[in-house]
């Protein structure tokens, strides 16, 4: 049975501003780097074998910070990129409504489909499961992509919603390609940092 720790990258300026990022290459902000270091400290005390990450900079930086703390090897795979946001990338919800109206989601604005994103994310996980059977692999990716992957592989579970920045969700896949969720959207590693920021 192969175990995957699905990690949403740390915070960015566009996350804070509520802007759709998609395939835009936006780096971590200061909070994002601190969040990644917090998770790195947690991972260093756990048992994981390797890291695979999206090649977008916010995921690469997150993986780098985790690797520095845990000494795990890092590889990159473009299949773990966020869904392409087409024309909405860089816009807020208010800006989308102003530009295209309340029904903007019904328009063809060049967005990648959930099915396409889920398919490439799952193909990456399945390939890694075959290559590293029985290992525990961290996957650093993006919120929308991970949501669609989870909804596709955990068919008997309730539909998953928004993953927090720097959260970890742990899923396992057996030899019959049956998936189960062990931990969902966990951010306990961020609590000491958030408490310090509020003082």
Count: domains in the chain: 1
169 annotated to a ligand binding site:
no
Q: Quick check: is 182 in a domain?
A: yes
Q: Quick check: is 95 in a domain?
A: no
Q: Quick check: is 27 in a domain?
A: yes
| pLDDT lower than 70: segments of the chain | 157-160, 192-199
12 annotated to a ligand binding site:
yes
Q: Quick check: is 101 in a domain?
A: no
Domain region containing 13 = 2-83+113-198
pLDDT score, position 170: 97
pLDDT score, position 86: 96
Which CATH number goes with the domain that contains 122?
A: 3.40.50.1240
Q: pLDDT (tens digit, 9 = 90+) per residue, 11-32?
A: 999 999 999 999 999 999 999 9
23 annotated to a ligand binding site:
no
3-state SS of the chain is CEEEEEEECCCEHHHHHCCCCCCCCCCECHHHHHHHHHHHHHHHCCCCCEEEECCCHHHHHHHHHHHHHHCCCEEECHHHCCCCCHHHCCCCHHHHHHHHCCCHHHCCCCCCCHHHHHHHHHHHHHHHHHHCCCCEEEEEECHHHHHHHHHHHCCCCCCCCCCCCCCEEEEEECCCCCEEEEEEEECHHHHHHHHHHHC
Active site residue 112: no
Active site residue 9: yes
Given 41, 82, 161, 164, the catalytic residue? 82
């Amino acid at each position: 049975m192969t175990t995957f720790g699905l990690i949403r990258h740390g915070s960015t300026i566009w996350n804070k501003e509520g802007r759709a990022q998609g395939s835009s290459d936006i780096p971590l902000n200061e909070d994002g780097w601190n969040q990644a270091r917090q998770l790195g400290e947690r991972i260093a005390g756990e048992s994981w074998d390797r890291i695979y990450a999206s090649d977008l900079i916010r995921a690469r930086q997150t993986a780098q910070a985790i690797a520095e703390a845990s000494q795990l090897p890092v590889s990159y795979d473009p299949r773990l990129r966020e869904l392409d946001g087409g024309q909405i990338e860089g816009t807020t919800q208010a800006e989308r409504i102003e530009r295209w109206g309340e029904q903007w989601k019904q328009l063809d604005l060049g967005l990648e489909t959930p099915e396409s994103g889920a398919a490439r994310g799952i193909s990456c996980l399945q390939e890694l499961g075959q290559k590293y059977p029985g290992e525990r692999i961290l996957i650093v990716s993006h919120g929308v992509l991970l949501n669609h992957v989870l909804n596709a592989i955990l068919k008997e579970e309730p539909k998953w919603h928004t993953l927090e920045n720097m959260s970890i969700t742990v899923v396992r896949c057996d030899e019959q390609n049956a998936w189960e969720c062990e931990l969902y959207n966990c951010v306990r590693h961020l609590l000491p940092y958030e408490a310090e920021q509020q003082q």
